[in-house]
Structures are given as C-alpha cells and as structure tokens.
Amino acid sequence: MSGPTFNITFYGILQPGKDKETVMQNMAKAFKTTPDKVKPFFVGGRKVIKSNVDEPTAEKYRSTLEKIGLVIKLEDTAAAAAASAIEQADTGSISMAEVGADVLENPPVVKPQPIGDISSISMADVGADVVENPPEVVPQQIGDISSITMAEVGSDVLENPPVVEVQPIGDISGITMAEVGADIIENPKPAEKAPNPDTSELSVDDNK
C-alpha cells in the first residue's frame, strides 16, 4: 500500500449531547453486529477500530462513526510505530547519577570576571539607612493651633446643627396592645379550600 496509512482510534469520548446506549446501538447496526460486541470500545482508553488503512478509507470511517456519535482520531501508523519504539527502548543500562553530581560531561568553561579591591567595603549595621544621600523632605508648615481645644467626650461638635422639627402625634390613649399570640385581623378572609378531585372512576381492582 503506497502513501501514508492510518489507525482509526477511539478513546471512549462521545460527541456532545449523545447518549451512550444509543450510540452503542447505532454502532452495532453500522457494523452489523450486536451491542455486546461493541461495548468494550466504550470502557475508556485507546481502542483501535480499524488499523493500517489508507487516507480515503480512514476518512470514510471517521465520517460514519462521528455521525453515529463517536469522537474519532486518525493516527499516522508510521508516527505510532516510532512512538511505540521509543516507549519500548531498553533502559536497563541507564542509571541515576549521585545526588549533587555534575551531570554535564563537558560543561562550558565560564571565565571568572575580575573583581576590584573590595577591602574598604563594610556592612552597614542592621537597621541602618543605606541610602547615602536621601532626598530631603520639606516639612509642611502648621499654623498657630494654640487656640484649638478638644471637646468633651459626648459633646455635640456641630456648631449649628440642623433643627429637626418634631412631628405631632395624635391622641393614642385609646390604643391598646393585643395579647401575645392573638389574631390581630378583626375579620380575616376565610381560606378557600381546594375542590376535591373526582375519584368515582378510580378503582383498586387490578382487573380494571
């Protein structure tokens, strides 16, 4: 077979909104088999429905199966074989280096940079201001506050508070409190009862 070939694979993923049982029934009809025969394809994991087919055949399968409700992936057989070879590579001779070992066989040589004379450099004390010439912050001038005093605790600090006019209340001498739990609606509207459904035609006789 000339040209690239493909494996038609299914990972148990359905198209959005598709019902699993219905998809299995439709897949069984498409393959002229029973739902029990296709059920193993729906347990998850990679399943190859058809392997090593040419591109037109692979696209035909994908179109049909995706209409049924499956999410199909076409995998290039050459790429799949290469990946399988990598997974099966012999790693028996590979060992782990000791902790802290230099794992680069030929690390690049880094030429150290020369450092000038630092004998006159010393560490500042903890908490010291290490900025040699900090910018000057000019303090803002505060006017004469000698005449300012604190008000007494609870005092009204508004010099001219707005006047709130008291609303008059009429004669309430005839008003009394109802007893606890009393119904305060004098003439409550009677509650409407729902009509009873007609059960004349209902029967517990299993024969009817």
Three-state SS sequence of 67-126: HHCEEEEEEEHHHHHHHHHHHCCCCCCCCCCCCCCCCCCCCCCCCCCCCCCCCCCCCCCC
pTM as predicted:
0.41
> How many structural domains is the chain composed of?
1
150 assigned to some structural domain: no
Does residue 57 sit within a domain? Answer: yes
**Is residue 65 within 8 Å of 15, Cβ to Cβ?**
no
- What is the structure's pLDDT at 204? 39
Q: Per-residue pLDDT for the chain (208 aa), expressed as one digit of tens each?
A: 568 999 999 999 999 999 999 999 999 998 888 998 889 999 888 999 998 999 999 999 999 999 999 999 999 988 877 776 665 656 566 666 677 777 677 777 888 888 888 888 878 888 777 777 778 888 888 888 778 777 788 777 777 777 878 778 777 777 777 777 777 676 777 766 545 444 444 433 444 4
* Residue 21 counted as domain residue: yes
* Enclosing domain of residue 23: 11-75
**Residue 135 included in any domain:** no
For residue 94, being part of any structural domain is answered with no
Residue 86's pLDDT is what?
63
Indicate the residue type of 117: D
What integer pLDDT is reported at residue 87 of this predicted model? Answer: 59
Q: Is 40 within the bounds of a domain?
A: yes
Indicate whether 68 belongs to any domain: yes
In the prediction, which pLDDT does 14 show? 94
Residue-level pLDDT at 151: 79
